[in-house]
Structure 1
Protein backbone atom coordinates (compact mmCIF):
# COMPACT_ATOMS: atom_id res chain seq x y z
CA UNK A 1 0.00 0.00 0.00
CA UNK A 2 1.28 3.46 -0.86
CA UNK A 3 -0.41 6.44 0.74
CA UNK A 4 1.97 8.59 -1.26
CA UNK A 5 0.73 7.13 -4.53
CA UNK A 6 -2.95 7.53 -3.58
CA UNK A 7 -2.38 11.17 -2.70
CA UNK A 8 -0.30 11.73 -5.83
CA UNK A 9 -3.17 10.39 -7.96
CA UNK A 10 -5.74 12.61 -6.21
CA UNK A 11 -3.45 15.65 -6.40
CA UNK A 12 -2.53 15.32 -10.07
CA UNK A 13 -6.02 14.44 -11.32
CA UNK A 14 -7.61 17.29 -9.35
CA UNK A 15 -5.34 19.84 -11.02
CA UNK A 16 -6.29 18.95 -14.58
CA UNK A 17 -9.92 19.64 -15.59
CA UNK A 18 -9.71 17.16 -18.47
CA UNK A 19 -8.49 14.42 -16.13
CA UNK A 20 -11.26 15.25 -13.64
CA UNK A 21 -13.84 14.66 -16.37
CA UNK A 22 -12.05 11.55 -17.61
CA UNK A 23 -11.96 10.13 -14.07
CA UNK A 24 -15.65 10.94 -13.57
CA UNK A 25 -16.71 9.23 -16.82
CA UNK A 26 -14.24 6.31 -16.90
CA UNK A 27 -12.75 5.72 -13.47
CA UNK A 28 -11.39 2.22 -14.16
CA UNK A 29 -9.74 3.27 -17.42
CA UNK A 30 -8.36 6.46 -15.91
CA UNK A 31 -6.86 4.65 -12.93
CA UNK A 32 -5.27 2.02 -15.20
CA UNK A 33 -3.90 4.68 -17.57
CA UNK A 34 -2.61 6.85 -14.72
CA UNK A 35 -0.93 3.92 -12.97
CA UNK A 36 0.81 2.88 -16.20
CA UNK A 37 1.70 6.31 -17.58
CA UNK A 38 1.88 8.73 -14.65
CA UNK A 39 2.46 6.93 -11.35
CA UNK A 40 6.20 6.75 -11.70
CA UNK A 41 6.74 10.26 -13.01
CA UNK A 42 8.46 12.42 -10.45
CA UNK A 43 6.40 15.44 -9.41
CA UNK A 44 7.81 18.85 -10.36
CA UNK A 45 10.66 17.30 -12.29
CA UNK A 46 11.86 17.34 -15.88
CA UNK A 47 10.17 15.03 -18.35
CA UNK A 48 11.99 11.76 -18.63
CA UNK A 49 12.73 11.50 -14.92
CA UNK A 50 10.86 8.61 -13.37
CA UNK A 51 10.98 5.73 -10.96
CA UNK A 52 9.87 2.18 -11.73
CA UNK A 53 8.41 0.64 -8.60
CA UNK A 54 5.20 2.49 -7.70
CA UNK A 55 1.98 0.50 -8.13
CA UNK A 56 -1.46 0.52 -6.51
CA UNK A 57 -2.44 -2.56 -4.59
CA UNK A 58 -5.80 -4.20 -5.33
CA UNK A 59 -7.65 -2.37 -2.52
CA UNK A 60 -6.35 1.03 -3.65
CA UNK A 61 -7.14 0.32 -7.29
CA UNK A 62 -10.68 -0.81 -6.41
CA UNK A 63 -11.34 2.21 -4.18
CA UNK A 64 -10.12 4.61 -6.86
CA UNK A 65 -12.03 2.86 -9.64
CA UNK A 66 -15.18 2.82 -7.50
CA UNK A 67 -14.95 6.48 -6.48
CA UNK A 68 -15.06 5.07 -2.94
CA UNK A 69 -13.82 8.03 -0.91
CA UNK A 70 -14.61 6.43 2.49
CA UNK A 71 -12.36 3.51 1.53
CA UNK A 72 -9.71 5.93 0.28
CA UNK A 73 -9.84 7.76 3.62
CA UNK A 74 -9.51 4.44 5.44
CA UNK A 75 -6.48 3.63 3.29
CA UNK A 76 -4.85 6.90 4.35
CA UNK A 77 -5.68 9.25 1.48
CA UNK A 78 -5.69 12.83 2.65
CA UNK A 79 -9.29 14.03 3.24
CA UNK A 80 -8.65 17.46 1.67
CA UNK A 81 -7.44 15.82 -1.54
CA UNK A 82 -10.42 13.48 -1.74
CA UNK A 83 -12.86 16.24 -0.88
CA UNK A 84 -11.62 18.74 -3.45
CA UNK A 85 -11.45 16.18 -6.26
CA UNK A 86 -14.83 14.66 -5.54
CA UNK A 87 -16.44 18.11 -5.21
CA UNK A 88 -15.12 18.88 -8.70
CA UNK A 89 -16.60 15.64 -10.00
CA UNK A 90 -19.93 15.41 -8.19
CA UNK A 91 -21.10 18.74 -6.73
CA UNK A 92 -22.95 19.45 -9.99
CA UNK A 93 -25.17 16.41 -9.37
CA UNK A 94 -26.81 17.99 -6.28
CA UNK A 95 -29.58 20.58 -6.25
CA UNK A 96 -29.03 21.87 -2.73
CA UNK A 97 -26.05 24.05 -1.73
CA UNK A 98 -23.18 22.00 -0.31
CA UNK A 99 -25.05 18.84 -1.27
CA UNK A 100 -21.98 16.77 -2.01
CA UNK A 101 -20.10 18.07 1.02
CA UNK A 102 -22.98 16.97 3.24
CA UNK A 103 -22.97 13.50 1.68
CA UNK A 104 -19.18 13.32 2.09
CA UNK A 105 -19.47 14.18 5.80
CA UNK A 106 -22.29 11.69 6.30
CA UNK A 107 -20.43 8.86 4.55
CA UNK A 108 -17.33 9.50 6.66
CA UNK A 109 -19.25 10.01 9.91
CA UNK A 110 -18.56 6.47 11.14
CA UNK A 111 -14.88 7.35 11.61
CA UNK A 112 -13.88 8.57 15.03
CA UNK A 113 -10.67 9.91 16.42
CA UNK A 114 -7.96 9.00 15.96
CA UNK A 115 -8.48 9.09 12.22
CA UNK A 116 -6.42 6.87 9.95
CA UNK A 117 -2.89 8.13 9.53
CA UNK A 118 -2.72 10.63 6.65
CA UNK A 119 1.02 11.26 6.84
CA UNK A 120 2.90 10.52 3.63
Structure 2
Protein backbone atom coordinates (compact mmCIF):
# COMPACT_ATOMS: atom_id res chain seq x y z
CA UNK A 1 0.00 0.00 0.00
CA UNK A 2 1.31 3.44 -0.88
CA UNK A 3 -0.37 6.23 1.02
CA UNK A 4 1.95 8.58 -0.86
CA UNK A 5 0.54 7.51 -4.22
CA UNK A 6 -3.03 7.56 -2.93
CA UNK A 7 -2.59 11.11 -1.62
CA UNK A 8 -0.75 12.17 -4.77
CA UNK A 9 -3.79 11.10 -6.82
CA UNK A 10 -6.18 13.05 -4.58
CA UNK A 11 -3.90 16.11 -4.64
CA UNK A 12 -3.29 16.22 -8.39
CA UNK A 13 -6.87 15.48 -9.46
CA UNK A 14 -8.28 18.11 -7.09
CA UNK A 15 -6.11 20.82 -8.61
CA UNK A 16 -7.32 20.35 -12.20
CA UNK A 17 -11.00 21.22 -12.81
CA UNK A 18 -11.09 19.23 -16.06
CA UNK A 19 -9.65 16.20 -14.30
CA UNK A 20 -12.17 16.56 -11.47
CA UNK A 21 -14.97 16.40 -14.06
CA UNK A 22 -13.36 13.44 -15.80
CA UNK A 23 -13.02 11.62 -12.47
CA UNK A 24 -16.67 12.36 -11.64
CA UNK A 25 -17.94 11.07 -14.99
CA UNK A 26 -15.57 8.13 -15.52
CA UNK A 27 -13.92 7.24 -12.23
CA UNK A 28 -12.59 3.79 -13.11
CA UNK A 29 -11.17 4.92 -16.45
CA UNK A 30 -9.63 8.03 -14.87
CA UNK A 31 -7.95 6.02 -12.12
CA UNK A 32 -6.47 3.56 -14.63
CA UNK A 33 -5.34 6.41 -16.94
CA UNK A 34 -3.74 8.27 -14.04
CA UNK A 35 -2.04 5.17 -12.64
CA UNK A 36 -0.51 4.15 -15.96
CA UNK A 37 0.46 7.60 -17.19
CA UNK A 38 0.77 10.02 -14.28
CA UNK A 39 1.49 8.05 -11.11
CA UNK A 40 5.22 7.81 -11.70
CA UNK A 41 5.66 11.41 -12.81
CA UNK A 42 7.48 13.31 -10.09
CA UNK A 43 5.74 16.38 -8.69
CA UNK A 44 7.23 19.70 -9.84
CA UNK A 45 9.81 18.05 -12.10
CA UNK A 46 10.45 17.85 -15.82
CA UNK A 47 8.74 15.00 -17.66
CA UNK A 48 12.04 13.15 -18.09
CA UNK A 49 12.22 12.67 -14.31
CA UNK A 50 10.03 9.68 -13.54
CA UNK A 51 10.02 6.73 -11.24
CA UNK A 52 8.95 3.33 -12.50
CA UNK A 53 7.71 1.28 -9.59
CA UNK A 54 4.65 2.95 -8.06
CA UNK A 55 1.20 1.40 -8.46
CA UNK A 56 -2.03 1.25 -6.49
CA UNK A 57 -2.99 -1.86 -4.59
CA UNK A 58 -6.20 -3.54 -5.71
CA UNK A 59 -8.00 -2.11 -2.65
CA UNK A 60 -6.79 1.43 -3.37
CA UNK A 61 -7.69 1.18 -7.05
CA UNK A 62 -11.18 -0.09 -6.23
CA UNK A 63 -11.83 2.56 -3.56
CA UNK A 64 -10.77 5.32 -5.96
CA UNK A 65 -12.73 3.83 -8.87
CA UNK A 66 -15.93 3.65 -6.81
CA UNK A 67 -15.54 7.01 -5.02
CA UNK A 68 -15.52 5.09 -1.73
CA UNK A 69 -14.17 7.77 0.60
CA UNK A 70 -14.76 5.76 3.81
CA UNK A 71 -12.54 3.03 2.36
CA UNK A 72 -9.96 5.64 1.34
CA UNK A 73 -10.00 6.95 4.92
CA UNK A 74 -9.46 3.41 6.23
CA UNK A 75 -6.57 2.95 3.79
CA UNK A 76 -4.86 6.03 5.25
CA UNK A 77 -5.69 8.67 2.65
CA UNK A 78 -5.33 12.11 4.13
CA UNK A 79 -8.83 13.22 5.24
CA UNK A 80 -8.37 16.82 4.08
CA UNK A 81 -7.27 15.76 0.60
CA UNK A 82 -10.18 13.35 0.40
CA UNK A 83 -12.70 15.88 1.67
CA UNK A 84 -11.64 18.70 -0.66
CA UNK A 85 -11.70 16.50 -3.76
CA UNK A 86 -15.04 14.92 -2.89
CA UNK A 87 -16.55 18.34 -2.17
CA UNK A 88 -15.53 19.33 -5.71
CA UNK A 89 -17.08 16.12 -7.03
CA UNK A 90 -20.36 15.99 -5.15
CA UNK A 91 -21.28 19.20 -3.33
CA UNK A 92 -23.32 20.32 -6.36
CA UNK A 93 -25.63 17.32 -5.88
CA UNK A 94 -27.00 18.67 -2.58
CA UNK A 95 -29.53 21.45 -2.17
CA UNK A 96 -28.80 21.87 1.54
CA UNK A 97 -25.79 24.04 2.41
CA UNK A 98 -22.91 21.79 3.52
CA UNK A 99 -25.00 18.79 2.48
CA UNK A 100 -22.09 16.75 1.23
CA UNK A 101 -19.92 17.65 4.22
CA UNK A 102 -22.67 16.41 6.54
CA UNK A 103 -22.91 13.14 4.60
CA UNK A 104 -19.12 12.77 4.69
CA UNK A 105 -19.12 13.22 8.48
CA UNK A 106 -22.04 10.81 8.93
CA UNK A 107 -20.41 8.09 6.82
CA UNK A 108 -17.19 8.39 8.81
CA UNK A 109 -18.85 8.81 12.23
CA UNK A 110 -18.35 5.19 13.25
CA UNK A 111 -14.55 5.52 13.02
CA UNK A 112 -12.95 5.89 16.41
CA UNK A 113 -9.53 6.78 17.64
CA UNK A 114 -6.87 6.00 16.81
CA UNK A 115 -7.49 7.02 13.20
CA UNK A 116 -5.41 5.39 10.47
CA UNK A 117 -1.90 6.78 10.22
CA UNK A 118 -1.77 9.44 7.48
CA UNK A 119 2.00 9.78 7.43
CA UNK A 120 3.54 9.04 4.06
Query: 1:48-79: per-residue Cα shift (whole Å, max 9, x none)?
Result: 11000000010000000000000000000000
4+ residue stretches of structure 1 with deviation over 6 A? none
Distance 2:93 2:22 in 1: 16
Alignment of 1:89-100 (within 5 A): 89-100=89-100
Aligned to 2:101: 101
Is 1:20 matched up with 2:20?
yes
Aligned to 2:2: 2
What secondary structure, in the 3-state scheme, does the structure 2 residue paired with 1:23 have? Answer: helix
Aligned to 1:113: 113
Aligned to 1:73: 73
Alignment of 1:8-87 (within 5 A): 8-87=8-87
What secondary structure, in the 3-state scheme, does the structure 1 residue paired with 2:29 have? Answer: helix
Give the CA RMSD over aligned residues: 0.4
Unaligned runs of 5+ in 1: none
